């Protein structure tokens, strides 16, 4: 006894080709980075932060009131990461 119409056979679809990632992380000279930010952000240049940055290589959030150099430091961090 059939309840519905015959099952429809769908064609097999091949898996999409694997794409190579476009973004390649460049090596960062962490000693140079620490020396560059030390005059204005001494806490950012300490060894514990640099070790964390080396291990994670993730997003860094810079926050504070206007005019404190957040954009300047973000630009420098980004330039060293290229």
Domain-wise residue ranges, the chain: 30-80
Distance CA(27)–CA(82), nearest Å, equals: 8
Q: What integer best gives the mean pLDDT of the chain? A: 73
Q: Which residue has the higher pLDDT, 29 or 1?
A: 29
Question: pLDDT digits over 48-57, tens only?
Answer: 766 777 776 6
Question: pLDDT digits over 5-53, tens only?
Answer: 777 787 787 777 777 777 666 677 777 777 777 766 666 656 776 677 7
Per-residue pLDDT at 82 exceeds 60: no
Q: Which residues contact 74 (CB under 8 A, 6 or more apart)?
A: 60, 62
Distance CA(46)–CA(36), nearest Å, equals: 12
pTM above 0.85, yes or no: no
Per-residue pLDDT at 74 exceeds 60: yes
């Amino acid at each position: 006894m059939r309840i519905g119409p015959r099952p429809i056979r769908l064609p097999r679809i091949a898996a999409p080709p694997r794409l190579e990632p476009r973004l390649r992380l460049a090596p960062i000279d962490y000693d140079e980075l620490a020396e560059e930010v030390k005059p204005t952000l001494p806490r950012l240049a300490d060894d514990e932060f640099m070790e964390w940055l080396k291990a994670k290589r993730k997003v860094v959030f810079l926050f504070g009131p206007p005019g404190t150099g957040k954009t300047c430091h973000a630009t420098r961090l980004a330039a060293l990461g290229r």
